[in-house]
Structure 1
Amino acid sequence: MKKLIGLSLLFTACASLPSAGPHAFVTPPASGSPVQVCWVDTGGVTVPGGYGAGGSTVAATWEVTSAALVIRHPKGDLVLDTGISPQAQEEQRELGAWKRFTFSQTAGRNVPRRNLKDALTALGVTQPKALLLSHVHADHAGGAALLPGVPVWLAAEEKQLVEAELEHPRGVALPAQARALKGRMVPIPFAAEPYANYEARFDVFGDGSVVVVPTFGHTPGSVATFVNVSPSQRFVHVGDLINLSESIERNVGKSWLMRQLTDEDLARTEAEVAKLVQLHAQDPELLILPAHDRRAFVKLFGADDGGVPPCIGTPPPSQSHTSSLTTGD
């Protein structure tokens, strides 16, 4: 592992990102509904900081979380990503030799922490309206099998990826997890309406509280999700576009090694990270939350003491559990 980290640092020592193209910033409308967001830390690991970001990192170590977020809204509970599967080590045995190696260096290093279904029970969530996936890698889609029958929202391009994996497995998604998604995938209906510095959006509840934008590159249909808990507490969950928050301030992407092992389209991913740097300059009060930066989660939610998962925001007074996106493929 030390040799791999050294190689990664060698390739990224001076690798700053190109600037994003000029783009007008459209101020997002204020949210009109109370929202509570809870962090479920399904697994994680501690690795050298150079594994997480390009160049010489500020962080000596990268504290990894494979997280699910539970978003509680008056119209229903939404689970954003589902973390790592409790059976991930068994599921990876279906992969070929190279993909098993990739898994062993990435998602497979997670040590289990919380079971998603148990965490939902602790939060009083009985039936989520949907699961929303930033993408279908094993440490994001792993908990979907624990919640059978719940619709899974993902970009149409990501749905096509899963369908291709079911026909001709390449190991981008674990085969068992692709099978768990079959029959309940719902493509996100993006509207060609600007949001922040993005050209398209999907307003999940129609009130500006949760807005999804396409950020294709890491996988063909990877997305980012803006969550507006309150006027003073806003964040965007950016999936695996970056791994450490410091990437934004330092204007660098992930480490060379992580890009090679996990990004499907290197150039498009780099362009999307450059847009995050641009977004931060245009809206510095918005927190950019990488999906695997545990320190960033602790700073936002507080420490996880092992009891009820930590939450921010105000619990909604009632939930009707209605949605226009309920039909699987």
Structure 2
Amino acid sequence: MIYVWTGVALLGVAASLIAIRSFRPAPFAAPTPWTGPLPDASPPSEMAIYQLPTGTYENRAFLAYRGGGFSDVRQFAATAVLVQHPAGDLLIDAGFGANVEAHIAAMPSYRRTPHELGSTVRDQLRAKDYDMARLKGVVITHAHWDHVSGLDELDAPVWLNPAEGRYVERAKDGGVFREVASQRQIHHYTFDGPPYLGFPSSHDVHGDGSVVIVEAGGHTDGSVVVFVNLPDGRRFAFIGDLTWQIEGVTHRAERPKMLQMLADVNPKQVREGLQRIVAVADHMHVVPAHDVHAYDPIPKWMSVSGTRPNPS
């Protein structure tokens, strides 16, 4: 039988083949491992970190990274991290807030997935009699809804760099941020420090190397990585959505092309950020924002018995 293919049909077949190939394993080039000294850090003895899970939403691994399984259903974390420091505490991201159902409903229907709600960050802090005056601010890894929904209940400054400020002004995906941050103080910060672990510039929050923010970009204009260095010598890299699951680091697996087109403003820049993280991954614990198990080494705020003392 002879098939006569129209131009439209040929384009459809070509698009389908490209889409299928984009989900197959294709590790990006392995970077040269970091062999230089790690940046100096003098974290105070009172410093500590805690995870505050606020819920999860469901997705399949094949949508998260190239080579992921279609039947591998993952629970994506919506978790905030409290970094306690005598000079003032910080939250990294804010998780789900009290109005998360409305925030989800504001998304296109194809982006709404089954989800499970937990306690908000504010409720978890209140349950342990946390002194909100200790909270110096909320550092968002980027301004997408699932990282900022909980800002609606937190009376604390929101830390925003210039590139992410431009993103939230123009991007449709900045709508939830614009809503929840409209009544919040914005703390503008810049990357005024030297290169840090391969990233071109940095911002040392306390001046002691304990919390250092670097601009990664690519997922959004001003998305960041937050490095946290503890007094016991452990180092953490909170990498936001450079990858949605740890396989992005361990397998050097990017998002499938179709998901890059939907999720990233600059996939090449995301790859460069991932390569920098892969290069240093042997020296620290890497936490992609949505990988539930990546938070396992961090104690849960609500599981700590008694009221947490605030550093003096």
- Equivalents in 1 of 2:96, 2:129: separation in Å? 21
Partner of residue 47, structure 1 = 59
1:285 matches 2:283: yes
- Equivalents in 2 of 1:179, 1:278: separation in Å? 37
Partner amino acid, structure 2, of 1:181: A
1:309 matches 2:309: no
1:129 matches 2:122: no
How far the C-alpha of 1:270 sits from its partner, in A, is: 1.8
**What is the identity percentage for the equivalent residue pairs of Structure 1 and Structure 2?**
24
1:143-198 Cα offsets, whole Å, 9 max, x none, are: 111013x1111221111222x24xxxx421234x3133236222222124122222
Partner of residue 167, structure 2 = 161
Which residue of 268, 275, 296 corresponds with 2:294?
A: 296
How far the C-alpha of 1:273 sits from its partner, in A, is: 1.3
Task: Work out whether residues 117 and 147 of structure 1, in 8 Å CA contact, stay in contact via their aligned partners in 2.
Answer: yes
1:228-284 Cα offsets, whole Å, 9 max, x none, are: 12343211000000111122121112344542332122221122112222222xxx1
Partner of residue 157, structure 2 = 151
Aligned length: 289
**Higher radius of gyration, 1 or 2:** 2
How far the C-alpha of 1:116 sits from its partner, in A, is: 1.3
Partner amino acid, structure 2, of 1:17: F
How far the C-alpha of 1:27 sits from its partner, in A, is: 1.9
Partner amino acid, structure 1, of 2:59: V
Partner amino acid, structure 2, of 1:15: A
Partner amino acid, structure 2, of 1:29: D
Q: Structure 1 9/42 Cα, relative in aligned 2: closer, same or farther at 3 Å?
A: farther
1:92-129 Cα offsets, whole Å, 9 max, x none, are: 55x5xxx5135315xxx432112111111134323211
Q: What is the TM-score of this pair, normalised by structure 1?
A: 0.78
- Equivalents in 1 of 2:264, 2:147: separation in Å? 14
Which residue of 61, 65, 70 corresponds with 2:77?
A: 65
1:115 matches 2:120: yes
How far the C-alpha of 1:201 sits from its partner, in A, is: 1.0
Q: Structure 1 47/23 Cα, relative in aligned 2: closer, same or farther at 3 Å?
A: closer
- Equivalents in 1 of 2:128, 2:71: separation in Å? 32
Task: Work out whether residues 36 and 316 of structure 1, in 8 Å CA contact, stay in contact via their aligned partners in 2.
Answer: no
Task: Work out whether residues 80 and 132 of structure 1, in 8 Å CA contact, stay in contact via their aligned partners in 2.
Answer: yes
Q: Structure 1 256/110 Cα, relative in aligned 2: closer, same or farther at 3 Å?
A: farther
Partner of residue 327, structure 1 = none
Where in structure 2 are there 5+ consecutive unaligned residues? Answer: 1-16
Task: Work out whether residues 154 and 186 of structure 1, in 8 Å CA contact, stay in contact via their aligned partners in 2.
Answer: yes
How far the C-alpha of 1:212 sits from its partner, in A, is: 0.5
Higher relative contact order (CA 8 A, sep 6+): 1
- Equivalents in 2 of 1:135, 1:88: separation in Å? 17
Note the aligned Cα RMSD (angstroms).
2.8
How far the C-alpha of 1:77 sits from its partner, in A, is: 1.6
Matches within 5 A, 1:70-81: 70-81=82-93
1:38 matches 2:50: yes
Partner of residue 180, structure 1 = 180
Partner of residue 3, structure 1 = none
Partner of residue 103, structure 1 = 111
Task: Work out whether residues 41 and 113 of structure 1, in 8 Å CA contact, stay in contact via their aligned partners in 2.
Answer: yes
Q: Comparing 47-56 with 230-239, which one deviates more in the overlay?
A: 47-56
- Equivalents in 2 of 1:249, 1:264: separation in Å? 23
Partner amino acid, structure 1, of 2:247: E
Q: Structure 1 117/251 Cα, relative in aligned 2: closer, same or farther at 3 Å?
A: same
How far the C-alpha of 1:7 sits from its partner, in A, is: 8.9
Partner amino acid, structure 2, of 1:50: F
Matches within 5 A, 1:4-15: 10-15=21-26
- Equivalents in 1 of 2:75, 2:253: separation in Å? 18
